[in-house]
A and B are shown apart, each in its own frame.
Chain A
Protein backbone atom coordinates (compact mmCIF):
# COMPACT_ATOMS: atom_id res chain seq x y z
CA UNK A 1 0.00 0.00 0.00
CA UNK A 2 2.87 2.31 0.88
CA UNK A 3 4.42 1.65 -2.51
CA UNK A 4 1.11 2.38 -4.25
CA UNK A 5 0.85 5.73 -2.48
CA UNK A 6 4.48 6.41 -3.32
CA UNK A 7 3.81 5.69 -7.01
CA UNK A 8 0.65 7.79 -7.09
CA UNK A 9 2.31 10.70 -5.31
CA UNK A 10 5.36 10.82 -7.53
CA UNK A 11 3.33 9.97 -10.62
CA UNK A 12 1.17 13.02 -10.03
CA UNK A 13 4.28 15.12 -9.47
CA UNK A 14 5.72 13.99 -12.78
CA UNK A 15 2.57 14.28 -14.87
CA UNK A 16 1.49 17.47 -13.17
CA UNK A 17 4.80 19.25 -13.58
CA UNK A 18 5.69 21.41 -16.54
CA UNK A 19 6.12 19.07 -19.48
CA UNK A 20 7.41 21.66 -21.92
CA UNK A 21 11.09 21.74 -22.66
CA UNK A 22 11.57 25.18 -24.17
CA UNK A 23 14.50 25.75 -26.45
CA UNK A 24 17.50 27.37 -24.90
CA UNK A 25 17.17 31.14 -25.17
CA UNK A 26 20.40 32.24 -26.80
CA UNK A 27 19.43 35.78 -27.73
CA UNK A 28 19.85 34.72 -31.36
CA UNK A 29 17.28 34.32 -34.08
CA UNK A 30 16.18 31.79 -36.68
CA UNK A 31 16.89 32.49 -40.32
CA UNK A 32 15.36 31.16 -43.52
CA UNK A 33 16.84 32.48 -46.75
CA UNK A 34 14.30 34.23 -48.95
CA UNK A 35 15.30 33.60 -52.57
CA UNK A 36 12.66 35.92 -54.02
CA UNK A 37 11.83 34.72 -57.52
CA UNK A 38 14.76 32.26 -57.64
CA UNK A 39 14.19 28.53 -57.24
CA UNK A 40 16.10 26.11 -55.02
CA UNK A 41 18.42 24.06 -57.22
CA UNK A 42 20.57 21.90 -54.94
CA UNK A 43 22.57 21.71 -51.74
CA UNK A 44 25.99 20.57 -50.60
CA UNK A 45 28.17 20.29 -47.56
CA UNK A 46 31.89 20.51 -47.20
CA UNK A 47 33.30 18.20 -44.48
CA UNK A 48 36.67 19.97 -44.62
CA UNK A 49 35.35 23.50 -44.22
CA UNK A 50 32.38 22.39 -42.08
CA UNK A 51 29.99 24.42 -44.20
CA UNK A 52 26.64 23.77 -45.86
CA UNK A 53 25.41 25.52 -48.98
CA UNK A 54 22.19 25.98 -50.91
CA UNK A 55 22.14 27.03 -54.56
CA UNK A 56 19.24 29.07 -55.93
CA UNK A 57 18.74 30.31 -59.46
CA UNK A 58 16.44 31.33 -62.27
CA UNK A 59 15.66 29.18 -65.33
CA UNK A 60 18.59 30.65 -67.27
CA UNK A 61 20.80 29.81 -64.32
CA UNK A 62 19.67 26.18 -64.45
CA UNK A 63 20.37 26.15 -68.20
CA UNK A 64 23.87 27.53 -67.52
CA UNK A 65 24.52 24.63 -65.11
CA UNK A 66 23.61 22.18 -67.86
CA UNK A 67 25.64 24.01 -70.53
CA UNK A 68 28.55 24.70 -68.13
CA UNK A 69 28.92 28.14 -69.68
CA UNK A 70 27.48 31.59 -69.53
CA UNK A 71 24.29 32.59 -71.31
CA UNK A 72 22.37 35.84 -71.14
CA UNK A 73 20.09 36.25 -68.13
CA UNK A 74 21.83 33.95 -65.60
CA UNK A 75 21.09 34.66 -61.96
CA UNK A 76 22.53 32.23 -59.39
CA UNK A 77 23.00 32.62 -55.64
CA UNK A 78 25.00 30.29 -53.41
CA UNK A 79 24.10 30.70 -49.75
CA UNK A 80 26.62 29.20 -47.33
CA UNK A 81 26.16 28.45 -43.64
CA UNK A 82 28.27 26.97 -40.89
CA UNK A 83 27.53 23.27 -40.46
CA UNK A 84 26.63 22.44 -36.88
CA UNK A 85 25.35 19.60 -34.75
CA UNK A 86 21.59 19.24 -34.72
CA UNK A 87 20.57 20.39 -31.23
CA UNK A 88 17.71 17.87 -31.25
CA UNK A 89 19.40 14.77 -32.61
CA UNK A 90 22.90 13.37 -32.14
CA UNK A 91 24.34 12.11 -35.40
CA UNK A 92 22.69 14.78 -37.51
CA UNK A 93 24.23 18.03 -38.76
CA UNK A 94 22.23 21.04 -39.88
CA UNK A 95 22.87 24.42 -41.45
CA UNK A 96 23.70 26.96 -38.76
CA UNK A 97 24.96 30.54 -38.90
CA UNK A 98 24.82 32.40 -42.22
CA UNK A 99 28.35 32.90 -43.59
CA UNK A 100 28.06 34.20 -47.13
CA UNK A 101 25.92 34.81 -50.20
CA UNK A 102 27.78 34.53 -53.50
CA UNK A 103 26.31 35.48 -56.85
CA UNK A 104 26.95 34.46 -60.44
CA UNK A 105 25.25 36.67 -63.01
CA UNK A 106 25.75 37.18 -66.71
CA UNK A 107 26.22 40.47 -68.50
CA UNK A 108 24.58 41.43 -71.81
CA UNK A 109 27.14 39.39 -73.71
CA UNK A 110 26.48 36.30 -71.62
CA UNK A 111 29.78 36.54 -69.74
CA UNK A 112 29.51 35.28 -66.18
CA UNK A 113 30.43 37.66 -63.36
CA UNK A 114 31.13 36.53 -59.83
CA UNK A 115 30.24 38.60 -56.79
CA UNK A 116 29.97 38.33 -53.02
CA UNK A 117 26.67 39.80 -51.92
CA UNK A 118 27.29 39.19 -48.25
CA UNK A 119 29.85 37.86 -45.79
CA UNK A 120 33.19 36.19 -46.26
CA UNK A 121 33.77 33.10 -48.40
CA UNK A 122 35.66 30.30 -46.65
CA UNK A 123 37.10 28.86 -49.86
CA UNK A 124 40.49 30.07 -51.16
CA UNK A 125 39.43 29.72 -54.80
CA UNK A 126 39.69 32.61 -57.25
CA UNK A 127 36.58 34.24 -58.75
CA UNK A 128 36.99 32.14 -61.88
CA UNK A 129 37.33 28.95 -59.84
CA UNK A 130 34.28 29.89 -57.78
CA UNK A 131 32.23 30.28 -60.98
CA UNK A 132 33.41 26.83 -62.11
CA UNK A 133 32.62 25.31 -58.72
CA UNK A 134 29.13 26.81 -58.70
CA UNK A 135 28.50 25.64 -62.28
CA UNK A 136 29.29 22.08 -61.13
CA UNK A 137 26.03 21.89 -59.16
CA UNK A 138 23.29 19.81 -60.72
CA UNK A 139 19.58 20.20 -59.97
CA UNK A 140 18.15 17.65 -57.52
CA UNK A 141 16.97 14.53 -59.25
CA UNK A 142 13.49 13.88 -57.98
CA UNK A 143 11.08 11.17 -59.11
CA UNK A 144 9.03 12.44 -62.03
Chain B
Protein backbone atom coordinates (compact mmCIF):
# COMPACT_ATOMS: atom_id res chain seq x y z
CA UNK B 1 0.00 0.00 0.00
CA UNK B 2 2.87 2.38 0.72
CA UNK B 3 3.65 2.22 -2.98
CA UNK B 4 0.25 3.27 -4.26
CA UNK B 5 1.09 6.97 -4.20
CA UNK B 6 4.16 6.29 -6.34
CA UNK B 7 2.07 4.32 -8.79
CA UNK B 8 -0.39 7.19 -9.03
CA UNK B 9 2.35 9.81 -9.53
CA UNK B 10 3.80 7.59 -12.25
CA UNK B 11 0.40 7.13 -13.88
CA UNK B 12 -0.09 10.88 -13.94
CA UNK B 13 3.44 11.41 -15.30
CA UNK B 14 2.85 8.90 -18.10
CA UNK B 15 -0.38 10.56 -19.16
CA UNK B 16 1.09 14.09 -19.01
CA UNK B 17 4.22 13.20 -20.96
CA UNK B 18 2.19 11.41 -23.62
CA UNK B 19 -0.41 14.16 -24.00
CA UNK B 20 2.32 16.83 -23.99
CA UNK B 21 3.79 14.73 -26.85
CA UNK B 22 7.17 14.90 -25.11
CA UNK B 23 7.36 11.15 -25.82
CA UNK B 24 7.11 11.81 -29.57
CA UNK B 25 10.17 11.35 -31.77
CA UNK B 26 8.69 14.08 -33.98
CA UNK B 27 8.58 16.66 -31.17
CA UNK B 28 12.23 16.06 -30.29
CA UNK B 29 13.26 16.38 -33.94
CA UNK B 30 11.19 19.57 -34.27
CA UNK B 31 12.80 20.97 -31.12
CA UNK B 32 16.34 20.40 -32.38
CA UNK B 33 15.35 21.96 -35.71
CA UNK B 34 14.17 25.06 -33.76
CA UNK B 35 10.84 24.76 -35.61
CA UNK B 36 8.57 25.03 -32.59
CA UNK B 37 8.49 26.51 -29.13
CA UNK B 38 6.45 23.58 -27.76
CA UNK B 39 9.23 21.48 -26.16
CA UNK B 40 11.20 24.53 -24.99
CA UNK B 41 8.02 25.86 -23.39
CA UNK B 42 7.41 22.57 -21.57
CA UNK B 43 10.97 22.37 -20.23
CA UNK B 44 11.08 26.03 -19.19
CA UNK B 45 7.71 25.98 -17.43
CA UNK B 46 8.63 22.71 -15.67
CA UNK B 47 11.86 24.31 -14.42
CA UNK B 48 10.07 27.52 -13.39
CA UNK B 49 7.48 25.48 -11.47
CA UNK B 50 10.31 23.54 -9.82
CA UNK B 51 12.21 26.72 -8.90
CA UNK B 52 9.14 28.25 -7.25
CA UNK B 53 8.21 25.05 -5.45
CA UNK B 54 11.73 24.43 -4.16
CA UNK B 55 12.08 28.04 -2.99
CA UNK B 56 8.75 27.75 -1.21
CA UNK B 57 9.89 24.49 0.47
CA UNK B 58 13.13 26.18 1.59
CA UNK B 59 11.61 29.42 2.86
CA UNK B 60 8.67 27.86 4.65
CA UNK B 61 10.81 24.92 5.81
CA UNK B 62 8.19 22.53 4.47
CA UNK B 63 8.73 18.95 5.58
CA UNK B 64 7.96 15.82 3.60
CA UNK B 65 4.78 13.82 4.16
CA UNK B 66 6.33 12.07 7.16
CA UNK B 67 7.51 15.30 8.77
CA UNK B 68 11.17 14.77 7.79
CA UNK B 69 13.16 17.81 6.61
CA UNK B 70 13.49 17.96 2.83
CA UNK B 71 16.97 18.05 1.35
CA UNK B 72 17.79 17.87 -2.31
CA UNK B 73 21.28 16.41 -2.71
CA UNK B 74 23.86 18.39 -4.70
CA UNK B 75 25.31 16.71 -7.78
CA UNK B 76 28.89 15.51 -7.45
CA UNK B 77 31.54 17.85 -8.81
CA UNK B 78 32.85 16.81 -12.17
CA UNK B 79 33.83 17.98 -15.62
CA UNK B 80 34.20 15.24 -18.21
CA UNK B 81 31.29 13.22 -16.94
CA UNK B 82 28.86 16.09 -17.45
CA UNK B 83 30.15 17.37 -20.78
CA UNK B 84 30.92 14.02 -22.43
CA UNK B 85 28.15 12.04 -20.74
CA UNK B 86 25.72 14.83 -21.57
CA UNK B 87 26.88 14.93 -25.17
CA UNK B 88 26.47 11.16 -25.61
CA UNK B 89 23.03 11.29 -24.02
CA UNK B 90 22.03 14.17 -26.32
CA UNK B 91 23.15 12.20 -29.39
CA UNK B 92 20.92 9.32 -28.33
CA UNK B 93 18.01 11.56 -27.38
CA UNK B 94 17.90 13.22 -30.80
CA UNK B 95 18.55 9.94 -32.63
CA UNK B 96 15.67 7.91 -31.24
CA UNK B 97 13.64 10.78 -29.78
CA UNK B 98 13.23 9.38 -26.31
CA UNK B 99 14.85 9.84 -22.94
CA UNK B 100 14.58 7.15 -20.23
CA UNK B 101 11.08 8.15 -18.99
CA UNK B 102 9.53 8.01 -22.46
CA UNK B 103 11.22 4.67 -23.22
CA UNK B 104 9.16 3.11 -20.42
CA UNK B 105 6.02 5.08 -21.26
CA UNK B 106 6.11 4.10 -24.94
CA UNK B 107 6.70 0.45 -24.10
CA UNK B 108 3.67 0.57 -21.83
CA UNK B 109 1.67 2.15 -24.65
CA UNK B 110 2.47 -0.91 -26.74
CA UNK B 111 5.16 0.28 -29.18
CA UNK B 112 7.05 -2.99 -29.56
CA UNK B 113 10.04 -1.48 -31.40
CA UNK B 114 10.77 0.67 -28.35
CA UNK B 115 11.72 -2.61 -26.64
CA UNK B 116 14.86 -2.55 -28.80
CA UNK B 117 15.66 0.92 -27.42
CA UNK B 118 15.14 -0.41 -23.92
CA UNK B 119 17.56 -3.31 -24.49
CA UNK B 120 20.08 -0.82 -25.88
CA UNK B 121 19.64 1.45 -22.85
CA UNK B 122 20.14 -1.43 -20.41
CA UNK B 123 23.23 -2.48 -22.34
CA UNK B 124 24.58 1.09 -22.23
CA UNK B 125 23.98 1.29 -18.49
CA UNK B 126 25.67 -2.09 -18.00
CA UNK B 127 28.74 -1.21 -20.09
CA UNK B 128 29.09 2.09 -18.23
CA UNK B 129 29.11 0.15 -14.96
CA UNK B 130 31.83 -2.14 -16.32
CA UNK B 131 34.20 0.55 -17.58
CA UNK B 132 33.43 3.53 -15.32
CA UNK B 133 36.73 3.27 -13.44
CA UNK B 134 38.62 3.77 -16.69
CA UNK B 135 36.68 6.88 -17.71
CA UNK B 136 37.55 10.47 -16.75
CA UNK B 137 34.91 12.03 -14.52
A and B pair up: no
Interface residues of B (CB under 8 A from A): none
Interface residues of A (CB under 8 A from B): none
